[in-house]
Chains A and B, each alone.
Chain A
Amino acid sequence: MNAELKIKGAPSIEELRASPAFPSYEELRRGPIAVIECIEEIPCNPCEGACPFHAIRVGSPITNLPHLDVEKCVGCGRCVAACSGLCIYVKDFTYSETTCTISFPFEYLPLPEVGQEVEMVDRHGNVICKGTVRRVNNAKANDNTAVITAEYDKAYFEDVVNMKRLGI
């Protein structure tokens, strides 16, 4: 069960696709959408209550995997900072002709600044492309989980999940 996650520390794309929250290839490309990389039954449900559109369902027991209703999700990103596991991000494939965006949770200081060029990483921390920070949302409601929006080349749409820490 989830062999790659339990050996390497990060899930494989196949393991993610087998979960009820992970959008399909087409759904991912339709516009802003939440991507929930939560594939183990842990007792946790803040994402469910955070969604103003009731697009995320955990239900009872709270160890159920989250289920994403892609028809209801508008990619607002309210779930991103609400997730205790920091495993949700929002991707937008339609941002421009050649670029896409990701809005991801980030709890390292210093925070990047809008316009700053940063290094985008995959699930194993490999730097795979550059990105430009478009938004830094560190609102009080986020409780110190900043949500960073970065724009990057569409060619790397699928693999980017976060950015490299700054100052290391």
Chain B
Amino acid sequence: MTRAELVIVGAGPAGLSAAIEAAKNGVKVLLIDENAKPGGQLFKQIHKFFGSKAHRAGVRGYVIGQQLLQETEELGIEVWLNSEVCGIEDSGHLLWVIRDGKESVQVRAEKLILSTGASENAVTFPGWNLPGVMGAGAAQTMINVHRVLPGKHIVMVGSGNVGVIVSYQLLQAGASVEAIVEAAPKIGGYGVHTAKVCRAGVPFYVGHTVKKAYGTDRVEAVDLIALDEKFRQIPGTEIHLACDTVCLATGLTPLTELAWLAGCKFDFIGALGGNIPMHNEKMQTSVPNVYIAGDIAGTEEASTAMEEGRLAGVNVACALGHCTAEHAKTRSDEIWENLNALRCGYFGQRRRDAKDLILKKGADLGI
């Protein structure tokens, strides 16, 4: 049996930030991740981040990852990699962990922060199971982490920020993006991202979807088709495009299995990706010693995930008696100010409203 004051599951931007914030306040942290390397999605993010200049805007995602890992090391935070948390018992106090695929370990934790992230959604169409059809995140991992180009002629399905950013990075990696397809009548991603791929000659097809993918051993072409206002396919509007890769950037769903296991109370928040554990302004769930941060608390971006991690980190430190309530309050107010700044405007207000709803529902549950 291993004992830890604080166990954090998931060493992405939220988990690393939570670990750093808690450790700075004197908490002994054990950070667990199922992957071979920490950093979550940060090391795939080769673009310069938005946000406030005061909070590392303008810095490329992988550099932020490097900075977080360095801080983690300097603070002496214990990190278990290749370690899967498979079970949670005793109201979030007891974890069952498989290390390196062979060793079964029990960990007793006073406090638990779940920062497990999200997984990609798929849309299905005839031929979607052909080799060459993949998540946009998978393509991004291939080009930016493993330096393998999945194909030369890409069709991107989904025009949110993931779809347009990955399209841009595929262009940088030497591919040609034949189309960005969007079922909605309007493009979803930031205009500055879409303008970047647009001036590289990438066409957008709004109000379209993939009707069918063709190919024998792998995808060789797709038929796009126009959609009416009720998202029904309009026969006769097919556009045939040759391609060797179809990337799906059709949203993310929070990875909440461990929160279900821990017994957290959930509600459905469509704007943030689905069923989400309700929480309070300290990121504490309905199970008092279990906190959440990042995409598990609603899919957003790395910049918000890092702030939520800090929020959970400082409040856990306070709950463990490592810092005063005044310190936690001052720091939390600071972080909330950053979060509110990231959640306003044309794109952010919807997430802000959804987050306010979570806090309200959390309060109704007595969290």
Report which A residues bind B (CB closer than 8 A). Answer: 1-2, 5-11, 37-46, 48-49, 60-63, 82, 84-87, 107-109, 121-126, 143-145, 161-162, 164-165, 167-168
Supposing A9-B187, A40-B192, A43-B341 touch, asked if A84 and B47 sit within 8 A by C-beta, the answer is yes
16 A-B pairs whose Cβ atoms sit less than 8 Å apart in the complex:
A2-B191, A8-B198, A37-B192, A42-B50, A43-B348, A46-B48, A61-B341, A62-B51, A84-B47, A84-B50, A85-B193, A107-B172, A122-B199, A143-B58, A145-B48, A165-B200
Which of the 9-residue segments B13-21, B201-209, B223-231, B279-287 touches chain A?
A: B201-209
Q: Are A84 and B58 in contact (CB under 8 A)?
A: yes
Supposing A7-B204, A43-B50, A63-B348 touch, asked if A125 and B191 sit within 8 A by C-beta, the answer is no
Instruction: Name the distance in Å between B240's Cβ and chain A's nearest Cβ.
Output: 21
Instruction: Name the distance in Å between B163's Cβ and chain A's nearest Cβ.
Output: 11
B344 at the interface (CB under 8 A from A): yes
| 8 Å CB contact of A43 from B198, B200, B345 | B345
Instruction: Name the distance in Å between A34's Cβ and chain B's nearest Cβ.
Output: 15
| 8 Å CB contact of A48 from B53, B197, B343, B347 | B53
Supposing A40-B191, A63-B348 touch, asked if A8 and B50 sit within 8 A by C-beta, the answer is no
Closest to A49 in B: B53
Q: Are B195 and A9 in contact (CB under 8 A)?
A: yes
Contacts of A164 in B (CB 8 A): 201
Closest to B63 in A: A143
Q: Are B51 and A43 in contact (CB under 8 A)?
A: yes
Closest to B169 in A: A107
Supposing A63-B341, A84-B48 touch, asked if A125 and B192 sit within 8 A by C-beta, the answer is no
Interface string of B39-68 (1 = CB under 8 A from A): 000000001111111000111100000000
Q: Are A46 and B57 in contact (CB under 8 A)?
A: yes
B190 at the interface (CB under 8 A from A): yes
Instruction: Name the distance in Å between A68's Cβ and chain B's nearest Cβ.
Output: 16
Q: Are A7 and B53 in contact (CB under 8 A)?
A: no
How far is it, in angstroms, between the C-alpha of A1 and the C-alpha of B186 when the chains are bound?
11
Closest to A42 in B: B190
Contacts of B345 in A (CB 8 A): 40-43, 61, 63
Instruction: Name the distance in Å between A102's Cβ and chain B's nearest Cβ.
Output: 12
Contacts of A48 in B (CB 8 A): 53
B27 at the interface (CB under 8 A from A): no
| 8 Å CB contact of A44 from B50, B185, B206 | B50
Contacts of A44 in B (CB 8 A): 50-51, 57
**Across the A-B interface, the 9 shortest Cβ-Cβ residue pairs:** A125-B201, A85-B192, A63-B345, A41-B345, A9-B198, A46-B58, A84-B48, A44-B50, A9-B194
Instruction: Name the distance in Å between B300's Cβ and chain A's nearest Cβ.
Output: 11
Instruction: Name the distance in Å between B154's Cβ and chain A's nearest Cβ.
Output: 13
Q: Are B198 and A124 in contact (CB under 8 A)?
A: yes
Supposing A6-B186, A168-B176 touch, asked if A86 and B192 sit within 8 A by C-beta, the answer is yes
Q: Are A40 and B53 in contact (CB under 8 A)?
A: no
Q: Are B199 and A10 in contact (CB under 8 A)?
A: yes
Q: Are A108 and B201 in contact (CB under 8 A)?
A: no
| 8 Å CB contact of B187 from A6, A84, A161, A165 | A6
Contacts of B327 in A (CB 8 A): none
How far is it, in angstroms, between the C-alpha of A37 and the C-alpha of B347 when the chains are bound?
17
Contacts of A108 in B (CB 8 A): 171-172
Closest to B195 in A: A10
How far is it, in angstroms, between the C-alpha of A101 and the C-alpha of B190 when the chains are bound?
28
Closest to B192 in A: A85
B37 at the interface (CB under 8 A from A): no
Q: Are A40 and B190 in contact (CB under 8 A)?
A: yes
Q: Are A61 and B344 in contact (CB under 8 A)?
A: yes
Closest to B346 in A: A41
Contacts of A49 in B (CB 8 A): 53
Contacts of B347 in A (CB 8 A): 40-42
| 8 Å CB contact of A45 from B52, B190, B201, B348 | B52
B249 at the interface (CB under 8 A from A): no
How far is it, in angstroms, between the C-alpha of A126 and the C-alpha of B53 when the chains are bound?
34
Instruction: Name the distance in Å between B210's Cβ and chain A's nearest Cβ.
Output: 19
B232 at the interface (CB under 8 A from A): no
Closest to A162 in B: B199
Instruction: Name the distance in Å between B100's Cβ and chain A's nearest Cβ.
Output: 36
B155 at the interface (CB under 8 A from A): no
Q: Are B195 and A87 in contact (CB under 8 A)?
A: yes
How far is it, in angstroms, between the C-alpha of A8 and the C-alpha of B185 when the chains are bound?
11
Q: Are B194 and A5 in contact (CB under 8 A)?
A: yes
How far is it, in angstroms, between the C-alpha of A124 and the C-alpha of B51 when the chains are bound?
27
B196 at the interface (CB under 8 A from A): yes
Contacts of B201 in A (CB 8 A): 121, 124-126, 164
- Point out which of A38, A42, A87 has the most chain B C-beta atoms below 10 A from its C-beta: A42
Q: Are B49 and A62 in contact (CB under 8 A)?
A: no
B6 at the interface (CB under 8 A from A): no
How far is it, in angstroms, between the C-alpha of A162 and the C-alpha of B187 when the chains are bound?
22
